[in-house]
Amino acid sequence: MRVVVVGGGIVGAAAGYELVRAGVDTVLVDEAATGRATSAGAGIICPWSSAVDDPDWYRMATGGAEYYEGLRAALAEDGETDLGYRRVGSLRLVSESEAAQEFRRISNRAKESPLAGEVELIDAQQARELFPPLAHDGPAIHIPGAARLDGRLVRDAMRRAAVRRGARVVEGTAEIVDGGVRAGGEFLGADGVIAAAGAWSPALLKPLGVEVRVEPQRGQIVHLRLPGTETSHWPVVLPQSRHYLLAFDDSRIVVGATREEGAGFDHRVTAAGLAEVLAEALSVAPGLADATYVETRVGFRPAGPDIRPLLGAVPQVKGLVVANGLGASGLTMGPYAGSIAARLARRADPGIDLSAFDPLR
């Protein structure tokens, strides 16, 4: 059996890795388009504090967080350990008036997932001790099981491990045709195709008469550095807005992000986007004012018609599986969604009820 995976982001890489580990002849087709969401994503793994109240989204998000445990072990066996992954915990910043209600909500959610750890309500001083640049003067909800990772490193590790196990990579634009895929100047015969091309999937699938309701949502994410500062264990910070702050091992702080509809595939850093991200970050953590500006990454999140992913087989095209529409949850759900797509493509039990994730809805 051969399966061709179209899309070189974290979903496609995960699907390819799952397939080749299951003994399937696997080809990964990667166009390496500018602005792939995986290349720009922040890497926050903390579904328990999300304000999203859709139970199907939450089931997929917590499944994604938990999936990393087995994935990391598998990659380590394949010699891949550099993922930028660390369980650093998170701080959900809240006001005095909402603290009790938010603490109950998050605690109840976390009880369903042992990975979250023991949630606790801490005061402003304790929060600043964990993340020194903060100026928050209210309480915070601390979730010790939250993690951060580098999406690029995770994607590349899965891809390298897949290739070492026998997967083949073809660079170029893909065209899905009867019996397989054309890419890189050749025809790749296939028993199944996984379309994991993110925001570019509508153009990939339209010639087949398949419409997926995905639009690119531009995200601008700023990277800063605090030279000489040990930041490796600083927690993820989640303010009351949709923005965030997180730290990595190299004195780097990532702050973001814009959520821009209607920008198309315009891969520019804009004055308004940069101003929005920095203003939000400095309002929460003024201690970052003297940080060195490193770069701004721009990615196009594949935003679907609602909060849930588009994931499942397409009945009218034999062997076609769509894995898309993860939006801002791409790095949380990506490897898990890719593994589910791989199981579908090889005609195995996906392990989850996918009725809520119909890719054609």
pLDDT tens, 231-250? 999 999 999 888 999 999 99
Residues 106 and 177 in one domain: no
Kindly state the average pLDDT of the residues 256-285: 97
Residues 181 and 237 in one domain: no
Q: How many domains does the chain have?
A: 3
Residue 224 lies in a domain: yes
Q: In the structure, what pLDDT confidence band is assigned to residue 176 with cuts at 50, 70 and 90?
A: very high
Residue 161 lies in a domain: yes
Residue 82 lies in a domain: no
What pTM value is reported for the model?
A: 0.96
Q: What is the mean pLDDT of the chain?
A: 97
pLDDT at 214 over 90: yes
pLDDT tens, 16-66? 999 999 999 999 999 989 999 998 999 999 999 999 999 999 999 999 999
Domain residues for the domain of 13 are 2-40+151-213+306-357
**Can you point out the beta strands (E) in the chain?**
2-6, 25-30, 44-45, 90-93, 120-122, 140-143, 147-148, 168-171, 175-177, 180-183, 186-189, 192-195, 215-225, 236-238, 244-247, 252-256, 292-303, 310-313, 320-324
pLDDT recorded at residue 181: 98
Residues 222 and 278 in one domain: yes
Residues 250 and 290 in one domain: yes
